[in-house]
Chains A and B, each alone.
Chain A
């Protein structure tokens, strides 16, 4: 699914000064970064901002990449951390009423299919009602088909904790979806 050798070659090429290698690397993962951020935040504008932040972090920190894990895991760790930080900042802004309610609305027609759009809104609404620790494991399990070991590597949490969080998440989200939220 994620060709690590190809990724490593592109990283080395970029470190050697080939800027287009970075573009190719990002083009491969940008949609995944976007969707994780979108599912975590529940709206396009926040996801869009996180994508740009993550790309900047990757660009600046790629020289510190140690080639021990896959590039995908590394990118996913950055994306997940940035998303959680963003949610914390958003919660603070919301608490002090600095964020306007309409900014959370999807202002960009990036999804053209109307049915898909409605389904996306339904799942996003349900996901936003989960605690962050349950939300992240639910997204990684169901949307990225990651094993608990992979999720553990990204989040730094024990697999037992992740399983418990997933159990609570799936039960809660089933109820929310079943009752149409």
Chain B
């Protein structure tokens, strides 16, 4: 007959009948394999029974709850620190976000001034360039033409027109300049010469 762990348990617990027990004991004597299996089972059950009943030391048992309560206090403290840290971090993030938004998307007075300076500089450059063109024209003019320009300029100065306080005078003057008869300042021959130069100029 083949025996299993259930049979071993029944034998050890005294649950076998007398005939069954005798038969089992005879098999144990005759079969070394069964004997080995039974011994292993017996050793394991003894080991389990003995280790199941081990008691923890009173000292350790009593400290479990005590340590837990201490850990709980630390945990609560850490949580409050964590919450405080989270609030601080959130607040810092809001401030940082605000500063970045202001710097990146909203133009400050400094930015506006800087833009204005750039515009003024560009205008200045353009004016300087235009003066360069005037200088070139003047450098090409002969002494007679220059003398005439000087005399016109002196005449204007002698009239003492106050352009700064009375801008209308300036407008009137510019209007006059646009309608001025150049022939009274420059000879017809010179005008033809200037036209000829302009026609030849490559823009």
- Residues of chain A touching chain B, judged by Cβ–Cβ distance below 8 Å, are 23, 26-27, 30-31, 34, 51-52, 55-56, 59, 108-113, 116, 119-120, 122-123, 142-143, 170, 173-175, 177-178
Taking CB atoms and an 8 Å cut-off, the chain B residues in 74-97 that contact chain A are 75
Task: Establish whether residues B61 and A177, one from each chain, have CB atoms under 8 Å apart when the complex forms.
Answer: no
Cβ of B65 and Cβ of A23 under 8 Å apart?
Answer: yes
Q: Report the bound CA distance from A55 to B72 in whole Å.
A: 10
Contact of B68 among A56, A143, A175 (CB under 8 A): A56
Chain A contact residues, majority secondary structure: helix
Assign chain B's interface to a size class.
20 to 34
Whether A59 touches B72, Cβ cut-off 8 Å, given contacts A30-B64, A108-B60, A123-B51, is yes
Q: A178-B39, A178-B40, A178-B43 are in contact. Are A116 and B68 (CB under 8 A)?
A: no
CB contacts under 8 Å to A, within B167-197, are none
Give CA–CA (A142, B46) in the complex, Å. Answer: 12
Looking across the interface, which residue of chain B has its beta carbon closest to that of A173?
A: B44
Q: Is B104 among interface residues, defined by CB-CB distance under 8 A?
A: no
Q: Which residues of B contact A (CB under 8 A)?
A: 5, 36-37, 39-41, 43-44, 47-48, 50-52, 54-57, 60-61, 64-65, 67-68, 71-72, 75
How many angstroms from the CA of A175 to the CA of B55 in the assembled complex?
A: 27
CB within 8 Å: A-B pair count: 70
Q: Is the CB of A174 within 8 A of B51?
A: no
B61 near A30 (CB under 8 angstroms)?
A: yes
Q: Tell me which residues across on chain A come within 8 A of B72, comparing CB atoms.
A: 56, 59
Q: Which of B43, B50, B65 contacts A26 (CB 8 A)?
A: B65
Q: Which residue of B lies closest to A27 (CB)?
A: B65
- Given that A56-B72, A123-B51 are contacting pairs, would A112 and B57 also be in contact in the complex, using a CB cutoff of 8 Å? yes
Are the C-beta atoms of A177 and B68 separated by less than 8 Å?
no
Q: A59-B72, A170-B5 are in contact. List 8 more A-B contacts (CB 8 A).
A: A26-B68, A52-B68, A55-B64, A111-B56, A112-B57, A116-B54, A177-B40, A177-B47
Q: Are A111 and B54 in contact (CB under 8 A)?
A: yes
> Shortest beta-carbon distance, B196 to chain A, in Å?
93
Contacts of A143 in B (CB 8 A): 48, 52
In Å, the complex CA distance between A138 and B36 comes to: 22
With A and B bound together, what is the CA distance between A111 and B60 in angstroms?
10
Are A52's CB and B67's CB within 8 A? yes
Whole-angstrom distance from the CB of B37 to the nearest CB of chain A?
8
Instruction: State how many angstroms separate the Cβ of A114 from the closest Cβ of chain B.
Output: 12
- Could you tell me if B43 and A177 are in contact, using CB atoms closer than 8 angstroms? yes
Decide if A110 touches B57 in the complex (CB within 8 Å): yes
Q: Who on chain B is nearest to A24 by CB?
A: B65
Tell me the bound Cα distance from A117 to B54 in angstroms.
9
Q: How far is it, in angstroms, between the C-alpha of A32 and the C-alpha of B54 when the chains are bound?
A: 11
In the assembly, what is the distance between CA of A93 and CA of B40, in Å? 35
CB of A33, distance to nearest CB on chain B (Å): 9
- Residues on A with C-beta less than 8 A from B57 are 109-112
In the bound complex, do residue A30 and residue B65 qualify as a contact, i.e. CB atoms below 8 Å apart? yes
The 10 closest A-B pairs by CB, nearest first: A178-B40, A110-B60, A174-B40, A55-B68, A110-B57, A30-B64, A142-B48, A177-B44, A116-B54, A119-B50
Q: Is A123 within 8 A of B48, CB to CB? A: yes
